[in-house]
Amino acid sequence: MARRWQHVLPQPLKKYAVKWDAMVTPGCLPLTVDYFPSSIELDSCYDVSSWDIYVDPKEMKSFLVRPPQVRGTLDEVRSAFALVVMRGMAAVRLAQGFQFVLKPEGDTEETLRPPQRRATSFIPEESVLPRARGASDILKSTDEPVFLSMTNEIHRISFNGEMIQVKRYVRRMGHNPPFKYECLIWPKLGGGSHDIHSVFSSHTLAVGYTELSTKFESHGFENYQWNRWVSCITSANPY
CA atoms within 13 A of residue 114's CA, in its CB half-sphere: 12
Q: In which band, very low, low, confident or very high, does the pLDDT at 33 lie, cut at 50, 70 and 90?
A: confident
User: What mean pLDDT is predicted for residues 161-190?
Assistant: 82
Nearest residue to 228 via CA among 41, 89, 100: 89
User: In which band, very low, low, confident or very high, does the pLDDT at 186 lie, cut at 50, 70 and 90?
Assistant: confident
The structure's pTM equals 0.69
Q: Is the pLDDT of residue 157 over 90?
A: yes
Q: Residue 17: pLDDT above 50?
A: yes
| φ and ψ at residue 45, rounded to 5 degrees | -115, 0
Cα separation, 124 vs 155, in Å, equals 16
pLDDT confidence band for 126 (50 / 70 / 90): very low
The region of weakest confidence among 30-34, 52-56, 61-65 is: 61-65
Between 185 and 206, the higher pLDDT residue: 185
Average pLDDT over residues 97-125: 59
* Spatial contact of 205 and 192, defined as CB atoms under 8 Å apart: no
Assign residue 100 a region (left: φ > 0; alpha: ψ between -120 and 50; beta: otherwise).
beta
Predicted local confidence at residue 204, as pLDDT: 52
